[in-house]
Structure 1
């Protein structure tokens, strides 16, 4: 059984640099902070991040804690809830920013945004899995908007070698996307891009 006075002393000690006091305070109040964070965020990883942030803030602001204004339990609960709401607002702003980047309407369904984001992340991940020379060739051709001949001249490489790198790169990219569950999407995208490039290089 501990007393509020003991907690105040522990708080002051940890703010003065006592590792033992910090460990004691954390052991005593981390379950409370996690409980509040989980209730607001419904996500354990997010709640753990908030818990970390809260205890860092306690270290910075703990010396200004005034027990006359409320218990440590209330102080931590209010601080945790505030941090959770900040995180939710930040997440909402990120979603709105992605809507603008994707050219989506403000009222676009959340499912579409999530789908587009997952596809984008899968493509970036798949590109990173390609051999360096194939990745460079694919990015230069389809995302840098350069012709095969321009790439050949820029890299001082035979035109046939450039075309082979792009062809092998696209084939490997399709396989990487299939591993990530985007087989149909990557194939159709590859065909559209490939057709467009063939017209350019003819």
Structure 2
């Protein structure tokens, strides 16, 4: 509890302009923030940039922390994840090209690369809009890494049908605005996502 109260006091001091309190707060929480940023971005340089953004925001908006809404760590975690996801989204202009490669069959293994590049949450949300059998086939193939034969056996469907379910499901995912709405024609982020 003392650690938590120390962080709250540091935030109060930061909101009154204390650079020393900011330095102490930074030292206390940088490792925590960096680990979250690195986990989301998967890249050290990007994670460092996210940390810079988060702590700049802390310095400028320390008074926005509210004890009633959770711990300082939770507040930092939410800000960090949000900034990291923003950064990842801005780096996704290649998504359309990868999807095109997948659907045209030009690149072997592009389907797994495509799905690994999307955020898992976005995919799961998009899958909810597919017919049940397409959703199940894609989920088993990409998240459980089952072979097409294993999926056919589990779903009691012919192998060719499973392959078709996956192909049609990926085509349906392609049509969903929830995947592409984050990318405008210039490769930047659009509003309204998450």
Please report the TM-score for the alignment, with normalisation by the length of structure 2: 0.48
Larger Rg: 1
Taking CA–CA contacts closer than 8 Å with sequence separation of 6 or more, which of the two structures ends up with the larger relative contact order?
2
